[in-house]
Structure 1
Amino acid sequence: MEVESGESSSRKRKWERPPVLPLTLATLQAVKERAEKRGNRISLGVIVKYFDNIDAPYEWLLPGWIVEERFVLFDYKGCVRIYEVYQTRIVSSILYTCMQLLRLQELRHV
């Protein structure tokens, strides 16, 4: 099939990020507030990025969870990536309750 100038054989849509969940925004706000209280001590050469379950490598995250990636540059080793996962208090309390229920069930079956 020939393609005339100015046309493309396939029309690709630009990927648009879905809207961020309110739970994710609440977690991100809490993380940033905590960083401000600590004095937001980020060294020179450190790049900080935040991701949620919409981002491809972190699809496994639950809604409201975010990952903070810190890229630390080293003179002799190149770049090292440090991860931290944050979750909302709501999600963590639900998970804690579920874990307690599972432990109770295990104890009853023993």
Structure 2
Amino acid sequence: MGLLSLYLAYRYVKPGGVIAFVLPRNLLSGVSWFLARMLLANKFHLRYVIVSSDAEKGYNFSENTSLSECLIIAKRIDEHRLGEETVLINLLRKPKSALKAMLLS
């Protein structure tokens, strides 16, 4: 499902458009996510990769799930350019409220 969603984003988002996905954390290293990583690496500039490492409150972003997740924000590109930067964010603790989450973002 995740690979299909990424492919549809590639097909329907214009070059220069930005996508945001919450996907299983296995996307970052799991064998079964290889094709998704290749699509992201070749057709997008990863602007932000955000993961949660909060052992107490869970490794997820979605409510009512225990899956480890990552948040990917990427810009569709035709080709990579020198100087592209990717920000990697590791949340050691999740914000305690929606307001604190908004202020953090």
Same fold (TM over 0.5): no
Q: Which has the larger radius of gyration?
A: 1
Point out which structure has higher relative CO (alpha carbons under 8 A, 6+ apart). 2
Higher strand share: 2
